[in-house]
């Protein structure tokens, strides 16, 4: 049984259940039929004899037998005169007491060794009357119980067969989504096609919910594998340069360094590139975790105004440039945010503004609440971004040509900013003009 398919097993169980029910019904009918068979024989005998009363007619004083039905429902009818003389009929046979008539009484007799029932009924009329005698076997099963039993014996097995066939088709249709799920999983497993989906139509039953769960799992697996591939590709692409610089500097120091100053200069280069590698790795890991959904968003009600104030001051101070920093941060703006992630968002925006703004330029940070939304804007008077480059600024490792001559960093900052904004249900927009600067605006719903 365990080697059969589920739909076959369901069909077998269903058919066995129907067989059990049919067996119980047949048994009940047979037992009940045997219990009422004698009563049914007597009832049939009475019904047939009494039905003949209206057919007793005379024509010019002579009894007309043409209308009488002498054999019906296994009951023989005989007509006798008032004196007991046989006038006509069928099945007239001698038995003990055949010459005796008992009006309205059913009595058992033996005819040629067979148990029978006899019923005599006197029908009076203007010509003296006649005796109607009905004779039938004691086990005359021409009755409703017999008919029901015969029909049950014929129809119920047919019903079992029909039920088995219909049950098979129902089970096949019901488990068709399971086959679709299996085929999809096999296709993904055999061909490593993580884009395949079961794609069942909406449904509320367990199989449709299972299919939807599998599709969500496949989505997550695809994102995980894609994130893993992107991480490997991005890491190998971006770490190749600092690794090459470190190796070249080590080789240069080993062959050419003569003094402590030479070694210190080489170590400074190695340290700078190592810090760059560390920053790239940390950013890649953060982006990958967010892609995979493994970095949870720990929201809490926080003072966004204080966060923006502190992060702006720290970032500008760390940049080391002489810039004109203007802050217009409204106090008391609260929001449900992940403080750590939102700090990175503000830091990256302010850091980019400082990086691409020359000495003496201006960086403006503003925060306000408007109609239930907080609006953070970081603007600068730096080199700006060309219109053709704006669609690409959130792509990983992408750098605009206008940033040449500037320490461009890893090219991951804005990609991370966009992810953080979307994770909080926020929106990020940018306005920029080459030579005049850029303005990045972050908006999201806030709570008070």
Q: How many CB atoms lie within 10 A of CB 65?
A: 14
**What is the rounded CA–CA span in Å between residue 58 and residue 53?**
12
Q: Answer positive or negative: Cα dihedral of 220, 225, 230, 236.
A: positive
**What is the rounded CA–CA span in Å between residue 334 and residue 445?**
10
What is the pLDDT, as a whole number, of residue 76? 93
324-343 as b/e, with b when 16 or more CB fall inside 10 Å?
A: ebeeebeeebbbbbbeebbb
CB 328 within 8 A of CB 367: yes
Task: Give the pair of three-digit tokens for residue 416.
Answer: 């991370």
* The 3-state secondary structure of 270-295, one letter per residue: HHHHHHHHHHHHHHHHHHHHHHHCCC
Residue from 408, 413, 322 nearest 362 by CA: 322
What is the pLDDT, as a whole number, of residue 195? 72
CB 350 within 8 A of CB 316: yes
What is the pLDDT, as a whole number, of residue 377? 95
């850029």: which residue's tokens? 438
Query: CA torsion angle for 339, 351, 428, 433 (degrees, to 10)?
Result: 170
**What is the rounded CA–CA span in Å between residue 11 and residue 168?**
5
Give the domains, in start order, of the chain with CATH numbers. 1-174 (no CATH), 206-292 (1.10.287.130), 300-445 (3.30.565.10)
What's the pTM? Answer: 0.46
Beta bridge partners of 103: 120
What is the pLDDT, as a whole number, of residue 330? 93
Would you call 375 helix, strand, or coil by DSSP?
Answer: strand
What is the pLDDT, as a whole number, of residue 403? 45
Within its chain, how far is the Cα of 80 from the centroid?
80
**What is the rounded CA–CA span in Å between residue 193 and residue 216?**
15
Positions in the chain short of pLDDT 70: 1-7, 29-39, 141-149, 190-194, 201-205, 227-228, 230-238, 241, 280, 283-284, 286-296, 396-412, 447-448
What is the pLDDT, as a whole number, of residue 121? 93
Beta bridge partners of 427: 443
What is the pLDDT, as a whole number, of residue 442? 94
What is the pLDDT, as a whole number, of residue 94? 83
**What is the rounded CA–CA span in Å between residue 286 and residue 62?**
118
């400082």: which residue's tokens? 354
**What is the rounded CA–CA span in Å between residue 194 and residue 253?**
48
Task: Give the pair of three-digit tokens for residue 269.
Answer: 């280069």
Per-residue pLDDT reduced to its tens digit, 371-387 = 889 999 999 999 888 88
Per-residue pLDDT reduced to its tens digit, 190-249 = 656 667 777 776 666 677 777 778 777 777 777 777 766 766 666 665 677 678 878 888
What is the pLDDT, as a whole number, of residue 308? 93
């Amino acid at each position: 049984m365990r080697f059969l398919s589920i739909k076959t097993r369901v069909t077998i169980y269903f058919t066995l259940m129907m067989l059990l029910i049919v067996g119980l019904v047949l048994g009940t009918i047979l037992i009940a039929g045997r219990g009422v068979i004698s009563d049914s024989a007597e009832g049939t005998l009475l019904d047939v004899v009494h039905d003949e009363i209206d057919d007793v007619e005379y024509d010019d004083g002579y009894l007309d037998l043409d209308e009488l039905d002498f054999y019906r429902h296994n009951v023989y009818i005989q007509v006798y005169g008032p004196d007991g003389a046989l006038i006509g009929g069928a099945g007239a046979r001698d038995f003990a007491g055949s010459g005796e008539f008992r009006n309205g009484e059913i009595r058992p007799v033996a005819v040629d060794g067979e148990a029978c029932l006899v019923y005599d009924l006197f029908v009076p009329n203007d010509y003296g009357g006649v005796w109607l005698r009905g004779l039938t076997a004691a086990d005359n099963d021409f009755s409703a119980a017999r008919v029901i039993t015969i029909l049950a014996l014929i129809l119920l097995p047919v019903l079992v067969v029909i039920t088995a066939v219909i049950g098979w088709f129902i089970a096949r249709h019901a488990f068709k989504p399971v086959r679709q799920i299996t085929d999809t999983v096999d296709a993904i497993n055999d061909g490593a096609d993580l884009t395949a989906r079961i794609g069942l139509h909406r449904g509320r039953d367990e199989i449709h919910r299972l299919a939807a769960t599998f599709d969500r799992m496949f989505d997550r697996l695809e994102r995980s594998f894609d994130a893993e591939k992107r991480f490997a590709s991005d890491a190998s692409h971006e770490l190749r340069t600092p690794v090459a610089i470190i190796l070249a500097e080590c080789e240069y120091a080993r062959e050419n360094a003569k003094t402590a100053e030479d070694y210190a200069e080489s170590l400074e280069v190695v340290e700078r590139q190592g810090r760059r590698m560390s920053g790239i790795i940390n950013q890649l890991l953060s982006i990958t975790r967010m892609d995979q959904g493994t970095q949870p968003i720990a929201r809490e009600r926080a003072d966004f105004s204080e966060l923006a104030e502190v992060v702006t001051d720290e970032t500008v101070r760390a940049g080391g440039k002489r810039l004109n920093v203007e802050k217009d941060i409204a106090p008391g703006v609260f929001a449900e945010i992940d403080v750590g992630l939102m700090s990175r968002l503000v830091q990256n925006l302010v850091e980019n503004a400082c990086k691409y703004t020359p000495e003496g330029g201006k960086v403006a940070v503003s925060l306000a609440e408007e109609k239930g939304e907080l609006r953070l804007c970081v603007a600068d008077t730096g080199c700006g971004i060309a219109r053709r480059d704006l669609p690409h600024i959130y792509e990983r490792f992408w750098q605009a040509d206008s940033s040449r001559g500037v320490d461009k960093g890893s090219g991951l900052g804005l990609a991370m900013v966009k992810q953080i904004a979307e994770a909080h249900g926020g929106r990020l927009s940018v306005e920029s003009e080459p030579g005049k600067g850029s303005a990045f605006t972050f908006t999201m719903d806030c709570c008070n």
